[in-house]
Amino acid sequence: MKKSMLDILACPIDKHYPLELFEIVSEGQTVKEGVLFCTKCSRYYPIIDEIPVMLPDELREKDKNRDLDFLKKWQSKIPDKVIKQGNPWHL
């Protein structure tokens, strides 16, 4: 995801803008792995292979294991508020 996309991304649930970005793996202006966090509703959206996965809850439920695997993989690099508040499945 290009960092410049932060200027146009909003939470798909409550339309809150701007989202907070936590970079895990970056190269220049590209975030390869990271997290977008909505400070209004406390949902997180993973950035996986440069793609922000910003699905509503009902669609994320189908890929719950992908989200949990992502959180487990990067747990030491993701802020506690994302893991505790933004994770509906709790590690």
pLDDT in tens, the chain (91 residues): 999 999 999 999 999 999 999 999 999 999 999 999 999 999 999 999 999 999 887 888 777 888 889 989 999 999 988 888 776 655 5
Number of domains in the chain: 1
The b-or-e profile of 55-77 (16+ CB within 10 A means b, else e) is: eeeeebeeeeeebeebbeebeee
Range of the domain at 47: 3-85
Residue 79 lies inside a defined structural domain of this protein: yes
Determine the pLDDT at residue 90.
53
Domain assignment of residue 91, yes or no: no
Q: What secondary structure does DSSP assign to 22-90, as a single string?
A: EEEEEETTEEEEEEEE-TTT--EEEEETTEE----HHHHGGGHHHHHHHHHHHGGGS-HHHHHHS-TT-
The confidence score (pLDDT) of residue 65 equals 86
Question: What pLDDT is stored for residue 56 in this prediction?
Answer: 82
| This prediction's pTM | 0.89
